[in-house]
């Protein structure tokens, strides 16, 4: 569950940090609009890894569309399986 708090709550930053747990980011608002997000470091690293994986999968799909798909037998042969 996410937490939405005004940025002025950072005066008591310990309280805000306590709300920021794995799977539960804290969203800070400024003048009533979303402005910043505080994430647990593990969540941040997982998000970065997911974005990298998605980018690599996109590159692979683009390459396959341009150069052609490989059959399972071709993949196994190239891996020496």
pLDDT tens digits in sequence order for the chain, 81 residues long: 569 999 999 999 898 988 888 889 999 999 999 999 999 999 999 999 999 999 999 999 999 999 999 889 998 999 998
| Closest among 46, 45, 26, 44 to 36, alpha carbons compared | 26
> Both tokens of residue 2?
């996410």
Please give the domain boundaries of the chain with CATH numbers for all domains. 3-39 (3.40.1620.10), 42-79 (no CATH)
- What is the predicted pLDDT for the residue at 2? 64
Q: How far is CA 75 from the centre of its chain?
A: 30
């Amino acid at each position: 569950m996410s937490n939405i708090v005004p940025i002025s709550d950072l005066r008591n930053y310990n309280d805000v940090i306590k709300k920021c747990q794995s799977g539960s980011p804290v969203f800070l608002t400024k003048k009533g609009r979303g402005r910043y997000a505080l994430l647990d470091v593990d969540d941040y690293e997982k998000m970065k890894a997911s974005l990298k994986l998605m980018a690599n999968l996109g590159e692979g799909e683009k390459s396959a569309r341009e150069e052609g798909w490989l059959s399972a037998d071709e993949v196994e042969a190239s891996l020496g399986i």
